[in-house]
Copies of this chain bind each other. A is one copy, B any other.
Amino acid sequence: MTKPARRAHRRVDAEANDRALLRAAHDVLAEDGAHASVAAIAARAGVGIGTLYRRYRTKSELFQHLCAVSLDQWLAAAEDGLAHDDPWEGLAHYVTTGVALGSGSLGPIAGMIEITEEMADKNTRSDAAAALLVERAHAAGVLRSDVTVIDLHLLLEQLGRSPLLEQLGRQGRPDLVEAARNSRARITAIALDGLRAPAPRPLPGAPPGYELFSERWEPPPPGT
């Protein structure tokens, strides 16, 4: 295209609308789970259904984009953590930032969208950065020795969704959201203290295997 710019009528609003749509999709997904409907997402974003469908050709495409953005945020959180000089501070930044992302809400769309090569690549790089963070912390002796990077992943997945926040949203109580966020920050701090070396007693059972991660994003078998 040689045309430098095709002026839109409301170019200023468009970008804000897009962010609102993604945020709305995330929130509705958290509150309604797999039951989330496009109508609810559009309403939450304050736009019409038509506006949503001009931006994304299908519901899956919206969710796919949402996933891609989330992967970007995770990668950034891990790289920011590595940028810290102190190994523990870097790990703590990764944990607190990742929890605050709240991407556990994206769980219900596993198997509903196609994973592009670009997304898989971002995921790989993100995992590698997280592994580096854990290795560095282990080497510095600040992370309890019996915790693996997979333990950390599953911990983040566990803390990445907030039943309290989801229910408050479902009941329309934005006045309590701030208190709920603070509560989750306290819980995250408790978990971080539990991760700190030295460990008072060893973790139970065997370290979790990698098989808990592979095949996690493939569609479920037809018989359901």
Contact = CB atoms under 8 A, between A and B. Distances in A.
A122 interface: no
A37 B104 CA distance: 23
A101 interface: no
Given A179-B208, A183-B212, A171 B221 contact: yes
B179 A212 contact: yes
**Interface of chain A, helix or strand or loop or mixed?**
helix
Contact of A216 (B151, B167, B187, B191): B167
Interface in A163-184: 163-164, 166-167, 170-173, 176, 179-180, 182-184
Interface residues of A, number: 65
A190 B187 contact: no
Contacts of A151: 183, 186-187, 190
Given A33-B108, A212-B179, A201 B205 contact: no
A182 to B, nearest CB: 4
A203 B157 CA distance: 21
Contact of A190 (B107, B155, B179): B155
B208 A183 contact: yes
Interface of A: 32-35, 104, 107-108, 110-111, 144, 147, 150-151, 154-155, 157-164, 166-167, 170-173, 176, 179-180, 182-187, 189-196, 199-201, 203-209, 211-212, 215-216, 218, 220-221, 223-224
